[in-house]
Amino acid sequence: MKLAETEALMKKAIEATQRSFNTIRTGRASTSLLDRVTVDYYGAPTPLRSLANINTPDASTITIQPFDRNSLNTIEKAISLSDIGLTPNNDGSTIRLNVPPLTSDRRKELVKTVGKLAEEGRVSIRNIRRDAVDSVRKQSKTGEIPEDQARDLQDQVQKLTDKYIAKLEDLLAEKEQDITTV
């Protein structure tokens, strides 16, 4: 495994963790809250984004205007069944989601959830490191690369790992700050 490949995989792990963080509520309305919501549209699970315009007219409201009015009830049902914890209000043409301010208990729960997501990201990065180091060791055993070069490569992989875990920690601190800020 090449160093560039390892770094690209680590970047993808960071991006995946960032997307997970974006789906966590921070007390302000954000269209990314609905990224994980899928709607059973004519028998096929379809992302909500591809079925409707989603906007945030103010800090505490999300509006969803479906392209097809016939899908309004199925979208409403999908939001109700999802884990975002918001109740949809259907006025016949638009669905409104009121995002209430977070309670201190709920903020603590969300901080724990974000911590778990960050740990999943760390594990992913460590797995990438393990695979890269194993690859270097195999190449060293078969004689493809000398031992001193193998050690240097392993050190470089570890430096990459440290760099990306530090980035992940920065993202975590930023998200925790967003959640705990009233």
Query: Tokens 């302000």 correspond to what residue?
Result: 28
d(CA 161, CA 38) in angstroms, rounded, equals 34
Q: What is the pLDDT of residue 68?
A: 87
Cα–Cα distance for residue pair 140/152, rounded to 1 Å: 12
Give residue 20's pLDDT.
87
| Burial grade of 75 (CB within 10 A; 0-12, 13-18, 19 or more) | buried
Q: Which token pair is 156?
A: 């470089």
The predicted-structure confidence for 105-130, as pLDDT tens digits, reads as follows: 888 888 999 999 999 999 999 999 99
- Residue 90: which H helix or E strand, with range? strand 88-90
User: Is the Cβ–Cβ distance between 25 and 84 less than 8 Å?
Assistant: yes
In the chain, list all ranges with CATH 3.30.1360.40: 31-98
3-state DSSP call for residue 161? helix
* 31-98: CATH topology: Gyrase A; domain 2 (3.30.1360)
Q: Which two tokens stand for residue 64?
A: 């969803």
Q: What is the pTM of this model?
A: 0.72
Below-70 pLDDT ranges, the chain: 1, 27, 182
Asked if residues 86 and 98 have their Cβ atoms less than 8 Å apart, the reply is yes
Tokens in use for 71?
Answer: 């899908």
Distance CA 152, CA 20 (A): 34
pLDDT score, position 26: 72
8 A C-beta contact, residue 13 and residue 128:
yes
Average pLDDT, the chain: 89
pLDDT in tens, 49-75: 898 999 988 888 899 999 988 888 899
Which tokens sit at 38?
A: 């899928």
Confirm or reject CATH 1.10.132.20 for domain 3-22+103-180, answering yes or no.
yes
> Where in the sequence of the chain do the CATH 1.10.132.20 domains occur?
3-22+103-180
Q: Give the number of residues written for the chain.
A: 182
pLDDT of residue 81: 86
